[in-house]
């Protein structure tokens, strides 16, 4: 079983049914205060915490007086716009007394499907975490349409966990784990303590029922588990409505852990190395040696740029002798790379006419 005490970076997913009272549409303030205490507990242990939170539409409904039924797209987006302000303020108010800063990050499916936007999201989240901020991530429901939305925050939470390299993802749910059948209708249903491999049989056991204010079901949770565990992130499903649910999980509350299949960094390196390169960067001897020591690739170490590629595209890295060293996701286009190659990072703004990132390829986006 995965131990929460061993975690270094944790993503916690909070559904709208936990945050918002189904009958009144009001925020469950006391529960949120307890969650903040759990976040403080993790932070005091040196754990990075990222919250993926639903609730903007549910909160916006109450403000706008909209019914708790399926809404037309434009009304749903309007409710999200109103609710996002309340949601961000609510998290700030409960975490600030603990000395914890928060930042709102709104994403759509395109932010993970497009490599350039994926790298930008990854860099933003990494910077926030580096500043000691707890990111509050939600889908950007004000602009997302059916074509560019995740559709549920379980899968979005898994994608965020992969993006930030989390080693554990906790889905706070209205059920206390994964069962062999729906326990509400089948008295013989058995809860799994751990799932080491998501087989077709496990997938077939997943139901698809959601609560009144949320869209997630067990099927989406299993899909989230497949994404997370394949990327080296263990995932837990546990009852979230109790006070201080993370403390309850640590103290032995019922749950199901889906075990990670590999280390997050190893999984990411494999993913990058399997990509088809869109171009080639030729390096000088100093840069080639620096990469072998785990350093980022700076423009000064690039001697030649071959091919046409965009930001976020995979490129092959070669030694002065032409030997392949590895693959990396570039932060600059081929044309930009040609302009800044051989120059110091502090010259980038003068050369391009706008500020850029110091590294042409960051070490986290490289497989050597």
Q: Is 215 annotated as a binding residue?
A: no
Q: Is 48 annotated as a binding residue?
A: no
Is 325 in contact with 291 (CB distance < 8 Å)? yes
According to the annotation, is 173 in a ligand binding site? yes
Q: Taking a C-beta distance cutoff of 8 angstroms, is the pair 347, 323 a contact?
A: no
Rounded CA-CA distance 368/363 in Å is 9
Alpha helices in 301-368 (DSSP H): 334-340, 348-352
152 is in an annotated binding site: no
Residue 193 in marked binding region: no
Phi, psi of 77 (to 5 degrees): -70, -35
DSSP structure string for 149-192: --SSHHHHHHHHHHHHT-SEEEEEESSSSEESS-TTT-TT--EE
Q: How wide is the angle at C-alpha 76 spanned by C-alphas 75 and 80, nearest 5°?
A: 115
Ligand-binding site membership of 174 (annotated): yes
CA distances from 214 to 21, 166, 210 (A): 12, 24, 6
Phi, psi of 318 (to 5 degrees): -125, 150
Beta strands in the chain (DSSP E): 9-14, 48-53, 101-107, 133-139, 168-173, 178-179, 191-192, 194-195, 234-239, 255-258, 279-283, 302-307, 314-318, 324-329, 366-367
Helix then strand count (H, E) for the chain reads 14, 15
Helix axes 218-230, 153-164, angle to 10 degrees: 10
Exposed / middle / buried, residue 302 (Cβ in 10 Å: 0-12, 13-18, 19+): buried
Angle at 197 between CA 193 and CA 200, to 5 degrees: 110
**Binding site for substrate: what residues are annotated?**
54, 141, 153
**Binding site: what residues are annotated?**
13, 54, 141, 153, 173-174
**Binding site for ATP: what residues are annotated?**
13, 173-174
């Amino acid at each position: 079983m995965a131990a929460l005490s061993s975690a270094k970076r944790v993503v916690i997913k909070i559904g709208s049914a936990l945050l918002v009272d189904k009958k009144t549409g009001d925020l469950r303030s006391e529960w949120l205060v307890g969650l903040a205490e759990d976040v403080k507990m993790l932070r005091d242990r040196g754990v990075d915490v990222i919250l993926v939170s639903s609730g903007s539409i549910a909160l916006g409904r109450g403000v706008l007086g909209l019914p708790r039924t399926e809404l037309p797209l434009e009304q749903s987006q309007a409710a999200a716009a109103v609710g996002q302000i309340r949601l961000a303020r609510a998290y700030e108010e409960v975490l600030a007394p603990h000395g914890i800063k928060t930042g709102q990050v709104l994403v759509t499916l395109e932010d993970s499907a497009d490599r350039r936007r994926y790298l930008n999201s990854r860099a933003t989240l990494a910077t926030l975490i580096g500043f000691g901020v707890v990111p509050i991530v939600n889908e950007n429901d004000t602009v997302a349409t059916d074509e560019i939305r995740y559709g549920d925050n379980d899968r979005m939470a898994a994608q965020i966990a992969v993006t930030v390299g989390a080693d554990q993802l906790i889905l706070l749910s209205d059920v206390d784990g994964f069962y062999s059948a729906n326990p509400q209708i089948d008295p013989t249903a058995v809860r799994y303590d751990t799932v080491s491999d998501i087989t077709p049989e496990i997938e077939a056991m997943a139901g698809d029922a959601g609560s009144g204010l949320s869209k997630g079901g067990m099927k989406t949770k299993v899909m989230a588990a497949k994404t997370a565990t394949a990327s080296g992130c263990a995932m837990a499903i546990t009852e979230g409505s109790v006070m201080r649910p993370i403390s309850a999980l640590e103290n032995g509350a019922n749950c199901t852990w889906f075990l990670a299949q590999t280390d997050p960094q190893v999984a990411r390196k494999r993913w990058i190395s399997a990509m088809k390169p869109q171009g080639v960067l030729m390096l000088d001897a100093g840069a080639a040696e620096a990469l072998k020591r785990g350093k980022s690739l700076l423009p000064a170490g690039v001697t030649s740029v071959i091919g046409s590629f965009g930001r976020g595209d995979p490129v092959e890295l070669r030694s002065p002798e032409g030997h392949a060293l590895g693959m990396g996701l570039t932060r600059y286009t081929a044309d930009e790379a040609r302009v800044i190659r051989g120059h110091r990072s502090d010259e980038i703004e003068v050369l391009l006419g706008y500020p850029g990132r110091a590294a042409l390829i960051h070490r986290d986006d490289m497989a050597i």
